[in-house]
Amino acid sequence: MSILTEQFDIVVAGAGHAGVEASLACARMGLKTLCLCLNLDSVALCACNPAIGGTSKGHLVREIDALGGEMGLAADDTFLQMRMLNLSKGPAVHSLRAQIDKNRYHLRMKRALESQENLTLRQDEVERIIVKNGSISGIICAGGMEYSCRALVICAGVYLKAKIHIGEFSREQGPSGLARASALSGSLSELGFSLRRFKTGTPPRVSLRSLDLSKMEPQFGDVPIPRFSFLTDKLEREQMRCYLTYTNAETHAAILSNLDRSPMFSGKINAAPTRYCPSIEDKLIRFKDKERHQLFIEPEGEFTDEMYVQGFSTSLPKDVQREALRTIPGLENAEIMRYGYAIEYDCIDPTALDLTLGSKAIAGLYFAGQINGSSGYEEAAAQGLLAGVNAALYVRGEEPLILRRSDAYIGVLADDLATKGTNEPYRMMTSRAEYRLVLRQDNADLRLTELGRRTGLISSARYDRLMAKKEQVEKAKTALSATVPPSENLNALLEGKGENPIVTGAKLMNLLKREGVRYTELLSLFPSLPPISDEATLEIETEAHYGGYIERENERIRRFESQESIILPADLDYNAIGGLRLEARQKLSALRPMNLGQASRISGVSPADIAVLMIRLKELERAKGGAE
Q: Has residue 143 got a pLDDT over 70?
A: yes
Environment class of 572 (CB within 10 Å of its CB; exposed 0-12, middle 13-18, buried 19+): middle
Query: Does an H or E element contain 395, and which?
Result: helix 377-396
Tell me the CATH class for 3-160+179-196+349-450.
alpha beta
- The whole-number pLDDT of residue 264 equals 76
CA distance 540 to 543: 5
Say which DSSP state 556 is in: H
- Residue 9's DSSP bridge partners are none
Tens of pLDDT, residue by residue over 304-358, are 999 999 999 999 999 999 999 999 999 999 999 999 999 999 999 999 999 999 9
Report the amino acid identity of residue 274: T
492-496 average pLDDT score: 95
Q: Express as a percent the part of the chain with pLDDT over 70.
A: 99
Question: 23 near 119, Cβ under 8 Å?
Answer: yes
Reply yes or no: is the peptide bond before residue 224 cis, omega within 30 of 0: yes
Say which DSSP state 418 is in: I
What band does 539 get if pLDDT is binned at 50, 70 and 90? very high
Give exposure, 210-248, as e/b (b: 16+ Cβ within 10 Å): bbeeeebeeeebeeebbbbbbbbeeeeeebbbbbebbbe
Question: 101 near 302, Cβ under 8 Å?
Answer: yes
470-488 average pLDDT score: 96
- The whole-number pLDDT of residue 628 equals 57
Tens of pLDDT, residue by residue over 258-305, are 999 988 777 787 777 777 778 999 999 999 999 999 999 999 999 999
- Other Cβ atoms within 10 Å of 127 Cβ, number: 18
> Residue ranges per domain, the chain?
3-160+179-196+349-450, 205-344, 463-553, 566-627
- The whole-number pLDDT of residue 272 equals 73
CA distance 206 to 298: 10
Q: Has residue 504 got a pLDDT over 60?
A: yes
- The whole-number pLDDT of residue 98 equals 98
Sign, CA dihedral 394-398-404-406, equals negative
Tens of pLDDT, residue by residue over 456-465, are 999 999 999 9
CATH code, residues 463-553: 1.10.10.1800
What band does 620 get if pLDDT is binned at 50, 70 and 90? confident
CA distance 354 to 565: 16
% helix, strand, coil for the chain, step of 5: 40, 20, 40
| HSE-up (13 A, CA, CB side) for residue 323 | 13
Give exposure, 430-452, as e/b (b: 16+ Cβ within 10 Å): bebbebbbbbbbbbbbbbbbeeb
CATH code, residues 205-344: 2.40.30.260
Is 205-344 the same fold as 3-160+179-196+349-450?
no
C-alpha distances in Å from residue 587, one per residue of 60, 569, 575, 583, 620 = 30, 16, 11, 6, 21
Per-residue H/E/C for 468-502:
HHHHHHHHHHHHHCCEECCCHHHHHHHHHCCCCCC
Question: 594 near 568, Cβ under 8 Å?
Answer: yes
| HSE-up (13 A, CA, CB side) for residue 458 | 19
| HSE-up (13 A, CA, CB side) for residue 351 | 19
Say which DSSP state 568 is in: P
Tell me the CATH class for 566-627.
mainly alpha
Helix (H, G, I), strand (E, B), or coil: what is residue 406? coil
Q: Has residue 2 got a pLDDT over 70?
A: no
Contacts of 144 (CB under 8 A, 6+ apart): 1, 2, 3
